[in-house]
């Protein structure tokens, strides 16, 4: 069933132009298992958002001297990056933490971290990457 239409519009010199349009389709079902499945693309980007948030919270906790929270957040970030195949972020995280147990996301903060490495990790954490098909 057609649930709606979405259009991207722009206005240039007072004239409105439609750049793109898409239909929003809805499929009704009584099957609870089917209706609660998350789309793989949505799950990917949700995971990327959680990864970015974990990194940012971990870096901020480290700056604030809260090593316990920083360790938990950066450990979660490492696990999320590894599980999603985000090799670049995994590599950047290894510059900030020592990985104890990669399967569980157990890490230890490095005693000495280059300020540039922490900054690079923080700024690049907001990038998303295309899903491998």
| Terminal-to-terminal C-alpha distance of the chain | 28
Count CA atoms closer than 13 A to 112's CA, side-chain side: 0
DSSP state at residue 110:
-
User: Where does the pLDDT of residue 10 fall: very low under 50, low under 70, confident under 90, or very high at 90 and above?
Assistant: very high
**pLDDT, position 7:** 93
Task: Give residue 16's domain range.
Answer: 2-35
Domain count, the chain: 2
- Do residues 10 and 70 share a domain? no
Q: Among 5-9, 42-46, 73-77, where is mean pLDDT lowest?
A: 42-46
- Do residues 55 and 120 share a domain? yes
Q: What is the pTM of this model?
A: 0.62
- Do residues 9 and 57 share a domain? no
Token representation of residue 111: 């005693």
pLDDT of residue 22 exceeding 70: yes
């Amino acid at each position: 069933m057609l649930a709606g239409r979405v259009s991207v519009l722009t206005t240039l010199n007072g004239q409105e132009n439609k750049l793109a349009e898409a239909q929003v389709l809805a499929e009704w079902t009584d099957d609870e298992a089917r209706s609660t499945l998350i789309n793989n693309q949505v799950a990917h980007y949700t995971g990327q958002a959680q990864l970015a948030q974990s990194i940012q919270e971990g870096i901020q906790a480290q700056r604030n001297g809260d090593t316990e929270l920083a360790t938990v957040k950066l450990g979660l970030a490492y696990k999320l990056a590894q599980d999603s195949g985000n090799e670049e972020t995994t590599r950047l995280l290894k510059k900030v933490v020592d990985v104890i147990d990669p399967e569980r996301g157990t890490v230890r903060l490095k005693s000495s971290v280059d300020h540039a490495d922490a900054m690079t990790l923080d700024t690049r954490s907001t990038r998303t990457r295309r899903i491998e098909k």
